């Protein structure tokens, strides 16, 4: 019967750690790439629809007849913005979790080979926070949140236009809808920007 190895005899093969590190590095890279694609898709979608609307010539009477449809369209764009915000937050959290995992492997090697410590700038204690102020991730999310707020305000504008003439009170409601839309979108991003473990 073979004897059980003691804890000091158990060796984690370097190949497994290298493969794990490369996989984690790949997931971190993919999270960044996906974040860029998600934001670009949203910006192009909203921009295309707005350009199509602005390129269409409507008389005031004709605009009233399609205002409800435009309001629904902008409401759907607001929902798409909310989903985009959720994707951006979760991709940022996934990137952060991957970076933590990479640093766990670094710490393992530093413990085994202390002379390698100066080679590593990022360590678990020095990883940028998930919600780093003015990071590209936060700035992209802010852009999406503001664009989502604009689509919210546009949805309110067209529904108010369909119901009556746009008055000063209507502009107050539209402005409040913009502020509420921006606040909600930003809150939603911050709420989802966590590592769930």
Determine the pLDDT at residue 153. 96
Q: How confident is the model at residue 106 (pLDDT cuts 50, 70, 90)?
A: confident
Lowest mean per-residue pLDDT among 7-21, 96-110, 150-164? 7-21
Determine the pLDDT at residue 175. 96
At 190, list the tokens.
Answer: 């911050």
At 9, list the tokens.
Answer: 């005899």
Q: How confident is the model at residue 6 (pLDDT cuts 50, 70, 90)?
A: low
**pLDDT of 151 strictly over 80:** yes
Average pLDDT of the chain, as a whole number:
84
Determine the pLDDT at residue 9. 52
Task: State the pTM of this model.
Answer: 0.78
Across 1-26, average pLDDT:
67
DSSP for the chain, written as a single string: -PPPPPGGG----HHHHHHHHHHHHHHHHHHHHHHHHHHHHHHHHHHHHHHHHHHS---HHHHHHHHHHHHHHHHHHHHHHHHHHHHHHHHHHHHHHHHHHHHHHHHHHHHH-GGGGGG-S--GGGSPPTT-TT-HHHHHHHHHHHHHHHHHHHHHHHHHHHHS---HHHHHHHHHHHHHHHHHHHHHHHHH-S---
Q: How confident is the model at residue 29 (pLDDT cuts 50, 70, 90)?
A: confident
Determine the pLDDT at residue 1. 54
DSSP for 165-177, written as a single string: ---HHHHHHHHHH
């Amino acid at each position: 019967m073979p004897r059980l190895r003691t804890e000091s005899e158990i060796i984690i093969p370097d190949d497994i750690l290298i493969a794990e590190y490369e996989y984690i590095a790949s997931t971190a890279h993919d999270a960044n790439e996906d974040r860029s694609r998600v934001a670009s898709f949203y910006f192009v979608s909203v921009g295309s629809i707005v350009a199509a609307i602005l390129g269409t010539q409507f008389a005031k009477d004709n605009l009233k007849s399609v205002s409800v449809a435009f309001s629904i369209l902008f409401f759907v764009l607001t929902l798409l913005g909310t989903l985009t915000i959720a994707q951006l937050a979760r991709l940022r959290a996934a990137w952060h979790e991957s970076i933590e995992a990479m640093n766990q492997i670094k710490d393992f090697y530093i413990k085994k080979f202390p002379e390698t410590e100066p080679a590593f700038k990022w360590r678990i204690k020095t990883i940028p926070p998930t919600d780093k102020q003015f990071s590209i991730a936060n700035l992209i999310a802010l852009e999406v949140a503001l664009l989502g707020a604009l689509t919210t305000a546009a949805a309110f504008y067209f529904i108010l236009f369909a119901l009556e003439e746009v008055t000063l009170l209507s502009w107050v409601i539209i402005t409040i809808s913009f502020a509420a839309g921006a606040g909600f979108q930003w809150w939603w991003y911050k709420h989802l920007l966590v590592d769930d473990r």
